[in-house]
Amino acid sequence: MKRSGEAGQAAPIYITMVAGLLFLALALFTVGQAGAKHSGAQSAADAAALAAAQESRDDFVSVKVLENLLNPAFLDDIFNGDPMGTAVGCEAAERFADRNEAVLVTDERGEGCRAMEDRWGFKVHVETKKPMGATILPGTADKKAEAFATAIVEPRCTFKPAEDEENPPTDGEEPPPDGDNPGDTEQVSPGSLECGGTMWDIDPEHLDLLPDSADLFSVRLAQD
């Protein structure tokens, strides 16, 4: 009878221990679920920021760089200074956030994606489309994961201006005419671009051979 009484007393302890272990397991599952949600939100934010920066880079190269490819002052400012590209890019950020089951979040400035003011890049703020769902923790069922990301654009190349070739006329000689149309001037190369050890001479007659935008400018994630 004594053993039966001891067994009866131990049963509630076992039940309490099992219940505690189950609660702990559910709590760990909830934490893991929250971590997975946050990881997904961060992946969406990273993809959105990179997409915005890449869109801005490609737009800048296809328009501004091509239009000013024979302008040495422009090239020096862009490749040897601190370039500021176009603000185009947030539509791409929105698309890539959507592909990753997230949406841009409107911040205090009314923007979920914005171009940076002090450097060429974009900041994005996203949240997951789906909430956490039912969990054992109160107040988390409708909570959505949020994440921030920043992507910047940097030159891969440096610009080396062409050396001026001065051929002054000899004494008593007039400079040679420029041709039948004195107003016509021959386009000359403004210099060259060195990109990762590769030298690209800018040829006015073959501007279509410009390296790809990814060869001219890199895009990477950065800390805020």
- Decide if pLDDT at 4 tops 60: no
Mean pLDDT value of segment 63-76? 91
Q: What pLDDT sits at residue 135?
A: 52
Q: What pLDDT sits at residue 224?
A: 64
Q: What is the pLDDT of residues 44-62, one digit of tens each?
A: 999 999 999 999 999 999 9
Taking the CA of residue 32 as centre, how many other CA atoms within 13 Å lie in the half-sphere pointing to its CB?
A: 6
What band does 165 get if pLDDT is binned at 50, 70 and 90?
Answer: very low
- Higher confidence at residue 195 or residue 4? 195
Q: What is the DSSP string of the chain?
A: -HHHHHHHHHHHHHHHHHHHHHHHHHHHHHHHHHHHHHHHHHHHHHHHHHHHHHHHHHHHIIIIIHHTTT-HHHHHHHHHS-----STTHHHHHHHHHHTTEEEPP-TTS-SEEE-SSSSEEEEEEEESS---S-SSTT-TT---EEEEEEEEEESEEEEEPPP---PPPTT-PPPP--SSTT-------EEEEETTEEEE--GGGGGGPPPHHHHEEEEEE--
Is the pTM higher than 0.75? The answer reads: no
- Decide if pLDDT at 119 tops 60: yes
Q: What is the pLDDT of residues 139-154, one digit of tens each?
A: 555 678 889 999 999 9
- Higher confidence at residue 17 or residue 190? 190
- Decide if pLDDT at 26 tops 60: no
What band does 111 get if pLDDT is binned at 50, 70 and 90?
Answer: confident
15 class by beta-carbon count within 10 Å (0-12 exposed, 13-18 middle, 19+ buried)? exposed
- Decide if pLDDT at 93 tops 80: yes
Distance CA 187, CA 54 (A): 31
User: Residue ranges of the domains in the chain?
Assistant: 36-163+191-222
Q: What pLDDT sits at residue 145?
A: 86
What band does 168 get if pLDDT is binned at 50, 70 and 90?
Answer: very low
45 class by beta-carbon count within 10 Å (0-12 exposed, 13-18 middle, 19+ buried)? buried
92 closest CA partner among 138, 53, 148, 64: 53
Beta bridge partners of 193: 159, 200
Q: What pLDDT sits at residue 198?
A: 86
What band does 169 get if pLDDT is binned at 50, 70 and 90?
Answer: very low
